[in-house]
Amino acid sequence: NPEVIYFCGNRVFKSYDRGDSWPVHSPDLTTRDEVKIAGNVPHCTITTIDESTLNPGLLIVGTDDGLVHMSRNGGYDWSNMTGQFPGAPSGWWVSRVALSAHDESVAYVSFTGYREDDFRPLIYRTDALGSGKGWTLITAGLPAEGPVNDVVEDPRDPDVLYAGTEFGVHVSCDAGKSWVPLGGGLPRVAVHDLAVHDRDSVLVAATHGRGFWALEIDAVRAL
């Protein structure tokens, strides 16, 4: 529905009229930590949201103070999934949440400890979304000190994943079991956002200070 737009602060706002009005569609989904809110780098904000392309009622959000919530009815009710990610430090910034375009039960969540001097890559996958269990770490092959800023599932092949890290882009062709660098001229630079332009088979990367980069990915998909 092209008239539906989401905007997030500490709550989720959902417009049904292309932004002319913004009904609130969630309670405060952050920790409401007064110390973090008062800091010189404000926290307690929703940093990432995704709506399922298979079920528009399925939403997932992550915050900069470490919380992950899910809704199955378009934002009217939310369940807290925080604490289901083994090994993830409490309170770390949720850099990306992503719902699969192939299977409603599959989702991905990445955390970054960049602002806490913890540079480990942290990407989790579940094949049982909403069950309360099943999140596993999928970081084999990623740089040991390369925080993850984004994770994207290929819209044509569920086994192909792309990760934007502090050291460029990595790709997995086995649903996250292993990762390799995706070079092709991209400088060693922090990649903060990725998008797959499916019609033209192009992966677009937004970097920190080095502009936008694009890569034709038919060859990657062929692997």
- How does pLDDT run across 49-71, given as a tens digit for each residue? 999 999 999 999 999 999 999 99
Percent of the chain with pLDDT strictly greater than 90: 89
* Range in 123-132, 163-172, 193-202 the model is least confident about: 123-132
Looking at residue 132, what is its pLDDT?
A: 75
Looking at residue 185, what is its pLDDT?
A: 87
d(CA 89, CA 97): 17
pTM of the model: 0.95
